[in-house]
Amino acid sequence: MSMIEIKNLHKYFGDLEVLKGIDLKIEESDVVCLIGASGSGKSTLLRCINYLEKKTEGEIWIDGKPVDETEDGINKIRQEVGMVFQRFNLFPHMTVAENVMEGPVTVKNMDKTEARKLALDLLEKVGIADKADVYPEMLSGGQQQRVAIARSLAMEPKVILFDEPTSALDPELVGEVLKVMKDLAQEGMTMIVVTHEMGFAKEVADRVIFLHDGMIAEEGPPKEIFENPKHERLQAFLGEILA
Amino acid sequence: MSSIIDFFDTVVVFAPKFIPGVIATLQLAFFSILIGTVIGLFVAVVKLANKKPLTFVMNIYITIIRGTPLLLQLWFIFYGLPGMGIEIDRFPSAVIGLALHNGAYISEIFRGAIESIHYGQREAARSLGMTRGQALKRVVLPQAFRRSIPALGNQFIIAVKDSSLASVITITETMLLARQFVAATFDVFPIFFVAASYYLVITMGLAKLLQKLETKLKVGVR
Ligand SMILES: Nc1ncnc2c1ncn2[C@@H]1O[C@H](COP(=O)(O)OP(=O)(O)OP(=O)(O)O)[C@@H](O)[C@H]1O
Ligand SMILES: [Mg+2]
ipTM of the complex: 0.94
Look up the pTM and report it.
Answer: 0.89
The ligand with the least distance to the CA atom of A241 is 1
Which band of pLDDT confidence, cut at 50, 70 and 90, is reported for residue B1?
Answer: low
For residue B117, how far is its CA from the centre of ligand 1 (angstroms)?
A: 21
- pLDDT tens for B173-189 read 999 999 999 999 999 99
B162-171 mean pLDDT: 94
Are A79 and B128 inside 8 Å of each other by CB? yes
- How much helix, strand and coil, in percent to the nearest 5, is found in chain B? 85, 0, 15
- Phi/psi for B143 (5° steps) reads -75, -40
Q: What is the pLDDT of residues A37-54, one digit of tens each?
A: 999 999 999 999 999 999
Nearest CA in chain B to A100: B128
**Interface with chain A: mutation pick from B123, B128, B147, highest number of A CBs within 10 Å:** B128
- Core vs surface per residue B172-211: b (16+ CB within 10 A) or e: bbbbbbbeebbeeeebeebbebbbeebbeebbeebeeebe
Report yes or no: A83 at the B interface, CB cutoff 8 Å.
Answer: yes
> Is the CB–ligand 1 distance for residue A144 below 6 Å?
no
A-chain residue closest to B135, CA distance:
A106
Ligand 1 pocket residue status of A212, Cβ below 6 Å = no
Q: What is the mean pLDDT of residues A46-71?
A: 96
Burial class (CB in 10 A: 0-12, 13-18, 19+), B66: exposed
The C-alpha angle A150, A155, A160, rounded to 5 degrees, equals 70
Number of Cβ within 10 Å of residue A181's Cβ equals: 26
- Mean pLDDT over A227-233 rounds to 93
